[in-house]
Amino acid sequence: MDDQPVCHGVAPVTRRSFQSPLARALGRGAANSGVQHWWAERVTAVALVPLCLWFAASIIAHAGSDYAGFIAWIRTPLATSCMILLLIALFHHSALGLQVVIEDYVHSGVKFVAVIAVRLCCYGLAVVGIIAVVRIAFGG
Amino acid sequence: MIVESSDQVPRLSWLKRFPIPRNFKVTPESRIEKGRIWPAPADAKRIKAFEIYRYDPDSGGNPRLDTFHVDVDDCGPMVLDALFWIKNKVDSTLTFRRSCREGVCGSCAMNMDGTNWLACTRFISDMDTNATIYPLANMRIIKDLVPDLTHVFAQYAAIEPWLRSETPEPEKERLQSPEERSQLDGYYECILCFCCTSGCPSHWWNGNRFLGPAVLLQAWRWLTDSRDEAKGERLDALEDPFRLYRCHTILNCTRTCPKGLNPGKAIAEIKRAIVEREK
Amino acid sequence: MIKNGTTDGNSTPARPRPLSPNIQIYRPQLTSVLSIANRFTGLVLSLGAVGLVIWLSAAAAGPRTYGVMQSAIGNWAGQVVLFGCTFAFFLHLCGGIRHLVWDTVHGFELRSIYISGWTVVAASVVLTAAAWTISLFVTGWHL
């Protein structure tokens, strides 16, 4: 009976396990989830295409303008709403993508801590950004 | 530049491996050491040098890279012929799997010049000047070029690759229209050589839970078979962040398939089937 | 004699089987290189998003903090970072659109994969150059 190494590209762990190869391949069974994450990543991506292009075009068009010009631009209703939507879509997409990256490369218990930390940071930063936009738009 | 089919040999000469250390993240028992340089044949006009991965489980040593010089005129045109020439004339301990010698059994799958292919259908003339032969990537090695395929075959068994139907067997055949039969084209031809799975970076990092392109292509073969009645259960068994969704459409699989099949597309079909039953 | 990688049940197994090299020897191809580039640019853009929030917060804090921010972006290091972020953005955008097309199960033939791949690279370079050229003209920079 073979030893049962775990197929990492990193340090494989050899266990003297007598679990059959089929049992090891089946693992804990299918989680029956995963499509929600996949779908949300695609929806935010589709939203980000026009929002990011709008943002890039606006930045380029207003390159070199001073503080007053920048404030005036953000205060327009279109810019305010698009900035807020951009921040929501951007940080949600980023949280989903970073979670996938961590799941790919981190396999110890650190994975759970890292995923939670990254998700919370993303949503926290999104809120900070939205507050900043709101303060610019409605401030004096 | 534009690759039309997978049998086009990679030509890029200036980047043959990622610029990382040779023994990057390699565990001590897997480190490859310098090997023997075997003498060239005395009266050969055309000689080709092959660097071949060797591992002897009985010697207690690490894997090593031996260099063999093959008389190209004395040997057939394929890399498998060169391996036989070496085994017959130079080192009879060189060990590799082989059977059909015509690209239909999948036994001689190995990594040649950095990409996975069948040794019996890779021309020696298509190999680099410094030809390298390694076993299939990211596999436990039993000896020399022979990988341990136990785990990948277990993953194949895990998707239940047989017809599942509640309907009682008909008297003669289970009927299938030509259109329904054509849905299997491009999927039933898989010879389970595991070139694709062995070339998938996601399977390198998560191979214990990610099923890999070969197994997922076969999963789609059964999903798309009109005679099968267990589509729901099959999709349930696949819908998992690791079993299916470690696939990030890297597409090394489609690039390397020696039968010209398209595992990447099969996986995209599975993902679409899962989304469509959700929405 | 205990075979390598096996156990007779009574003693510890002989040395484990070695793992054949993977990323150390596998040939980089357009498929894998563009995929890792998409991931890498995504990571860069995640950092860029943090920068975006800092920039917005600086603007919300008033003209003085905004001016500090702008001079930081304006000096050569900031411009290099900004250029890198622009290229990362366009590469991730074009690569992302390529992924979205794949999600509709189109464009999986090898020929299409390679054509779309090179298109992504070319488009990213062109769009980055265009974005920077236009913004330089907008800021009144003359040759």
Which of C43, C103, C131 lies nearest to residue A42, judging by beta carbons? C103
Q: Which of B256, B273, B276, B277 is nearest to B213 (CA)?
A: B256
Structural domain range at position C50: 30-138
Q: Looking at the structure, do residues B159 and B141 belong to the same domain, yes or no?
A: no
Average pLDDT value for residue range B129-148 = 96
CATH code at position B230: 1.10.1060.10
**Own/partner pairs, A68-71, CB within 8 angstroms, 24+ separation:** A70/C59, A70/C66, A71/A136, A71/C59
Give me the torsion for CA of A124, A96, A26, B209, rounded to 10°: -100
Out of A39-53, B17-31, B36-50, which region has the weakest mean confidence (pLDDT)?
Answer: B17-31
Which of A6, A24, A30 lies nearest to residue B243, judging by beta carbons? A30
The answer to whether B124 and B133 are in contact (CB under 8 A) is no
Q: Looking at the structure, do residues B189 and B127 belong to the same domain, yes or no?
A: no
- The residue of C11, C32, C56 whose CB has the most chain A CBs within 10 angstroms, and thus the best one to mutate to test that interface, is C56
The answer on pLDDT for B218 being more than 70 is yes
Q: What are the strands, taking DSSP E only, across A1-140?
A: none
If you ran DSSP here, which 8-state letter would residue B224 be given?
A: T
CATH code at position C122: 1.20.1300.10
Q: B81: distance to nearest CA of chain A, Å?
A: 31
Q: A28: distance to nearest CA of chain C, Å?
A: 25
When computed from its CA atoms, the radius of gyration of chain C, rounded to whole angstroms, is 24
Is residue B20 in some structural domain? no
Query: What is the pLDDT, as a whole number, of residue C113?
Result: 97
**Residues facing residue B52 across a β-bridge:** B66, B133
Domain limits, chain A: 33-138
The verdict on B126 touching C (C-beta cutoff 8 Å) is: no
The verdict on C31 touching B (C-beta cutoff 8 Å) is: yes
Q: Looking at the structure, do residues B93 and B156 belong to the same domain, yes or no?
A: no
Q: Which of B10, B70, B138, B177 is nearest to A9 (CA)?
A: B138
| B87: Cα within 13 Å, side-chain hemisphere | 15
| C44: Cα within 13 Å, side-chain hemisphere | 19
Query: What is the pLDDT, as a whole number, of residue C51?
Result: 96
| Complex-level ipTM | 0.94
Average pLDDT value for residue range B134-157 = 97
Longest dimension (CA), chain B: 70
Question: Is C19–B114 a contact, with Cβ atoms under 8 angstroms apart?
Answer: no
Taking only the tens place, the pLDDT of each residue in C54-112 is 999 999 998 999 999 999 998 999 999 999 999 999 999 999 999 999 999 999 999 99
State which residue of chain C sits closest to A58, comparing Cα positions: C135
Is residue C13 in some structural domain? no
Per the prediction, chain B carries an average pLDDT of: 95
Q: How confident is the model at residue B85 (pLDDT cuts 50, 70, 90)?
A: very high
Q: Tokens at residue B166, please?
A: 């509640």
- Pairing state between β B47-54 and B131-134: parallel
- Interchain CB contacts (distance < 8 Å): A and B: 86
Q: Looking at the structure, do residues B155 and B272 belong to the same domain, yes or no?
A: yes
pTM over 0.80: yes
Structural domain range at position B121: 28-147
Q: Tokens at residue B146, please?
A: 């022979």
In single-letter form, the type of residue at position B144 comes to: D
Q: How confident is the model at residue C14 (pLDDT cuts 50, 70, 90)?
A: low
Which of A11, A32, A105 lies nearest to residue B27, judging by beta carbons? A11
Is residue C6 in some structural domain? no
For chain C, list the contacting chains (3+ Cβ pairs, <8 Å). Answer: A, B
Is residue C10 in some structural domain? no
